Amino acid sequence: MSAPETAEPDDVAGCHRQLKFAREARQAGDAAARARRVARDASRDAHRAGIPVEQIAAMLRVGTGTVRQWLA
């Protein structure tokens, strides 16, 4: 039976960096998905409140206001 290979410190550090980048990418993807859901829900609620679609699209494009402000 041969002895298991040991990883070099540089290899271990590289793996840790890759895992860190992968975790950050996943978190960014999760945040983007959350933002899309929030925008979709806000758009739906504003539409139900009678705000014109063009106005909803403009608000979403510039990212101004909140649903509460739109509905006030």
- Asked whether the whole model's pTM tops 0.85, one would answer no
Pair of tokens at residue 30: 């999760």
Tens-digit pLDDT string for the chain (72 aa): 454 566 566 777 778 888 888 889 888 888 888 888 887 887 788 778 888 878 877 777 766 556 556 555
For residues 58, 61, 67 and 69, what is the CA-based torsion angle, rounded to 10 degrees?
A: -60
Helix axes 53-62, 9-48, angle to 10 degrees: 150
Indicate the DSSP class of residue 3.
Answer: P
